[in-house]
Amino acid sequence: MGKVIAIDGPAGAGKGTLAKELAKKLGYVNIDTGATYRCVALEVLRKGISIDDTSKIIDISSNIKIDLLEDGTVLLNGEDVTKDIRSKDVTNIVSPISSIVKVRENMVNIQRNIALDKDVVMEGRDITTVVFPNAQYKFYLDASIDERARRRFEENKEKGINMTYEEVYNNIKDRDYNDMHKEVGALTRTDEQVYIDCTNMTVEEEIEIILKEINK
């Protein structure tokens, strides 16, 4: 196993931007684990499967091929879905789908395989606890819900994703609850993580804290 910097935290905290910048700085590979759950959600939508049809969703997650390329491109069964997995419809159903235990098992296997023998920055909800509990460096990135909704709303605007601030806020609030109350892989704070409240921080300041920890 290579070196692992594991970052967990709630939706909209800025884990994606942080992980990308940090990986670039260190020459590590950045792995966005949320993208794997989003691929399952996209396939569920495309196949017209009901969100309650757990066994069909598990089937999809068992047979799906996901590639996360080093430039951030996400391939689902060979097709570039980088933009499609950020849609409002995917965002609305991804959290309940990621609560299905067998789906999580399948995605955790995919995530571990992608990281195999590489130095990685991996971000998600259960990286420090389930995917790589023995990671050398563990962080929990947090921010107030208002700030997270504001950041995600601005990001969506830039990406052309059409959601009102209220929609973004309510989606984050629902996902917070769901992500923190999963049977397996729930977002949790532990004593082993270094807690960073980035409500009033720039990405550069976050990186400085992380590098200080790593160089301790």
Binding site for ligand DC (CB under 6 A): 11, 33-34, 37-38, 94-95, 98, 124-127, 175, 179, 185
Q: Tokens 């759950």 correspond to what residue?
A: 37
* Closest CB 177 distance from ligand DC, rounded Å: 11
* Closest CB 215 distance from ligand DC, rounded Å: 26
* Closest CB 179 distance from ligand DC, rounded Å: 5
Q: Choose between 27 and 69: whose C-beta lies nearer to ligand DC.
A: 69
Question: What would the two tokens of residue 192 be?
Answer: 């082993």
Amino acid at 69: L
* Closest CB 131 distance from ligand DC, rounded Å: 7
* Closest CB 43 distance from ligand DC, rounded Å: 14
Q: Which residues contact 15 (CB under 8 A, 6 or more apart)?
A: 7, 8, 9, 123, 124, 141
DSSP H or E segment with residue 8: strand 4-8
Contact (Cβ atoms closer than 8 angstroms) between residue 95 and residue 175 = yes
Taken in order 25, 185, 106, 53, is the CA torsion positive or negative? negative
- Runs of H (alpha helix) within 84-202: 88-98, 101-115, 145-159, 165-180
Question: What would the two tokens of residue 205 be?
Answer: 């300041």
Q: Choose between 138 and 175: whose C-beta lies nearer to ligand DC.
A: 175
Q: Choose between 26 and 185: whose C-beta lies nearer to ligand DC.
A: 185
3-state helix, strand, coil in the chain (%, to 5): 50, 15, 35
Q: Choose between 43 and 179: whose C-beta lies nearer to ligand DC.
A: 179
* Closest CB 94 distance from ligand DC, rounded Å: 4
Amino acid at 188: T
Q: Choose between 68 and 210: whose C-beta lies nearer to ligand DC.
A: 68
Q: Choose between 183 and 191: whose C-beta lies nearer to ligand DC.
A: 183
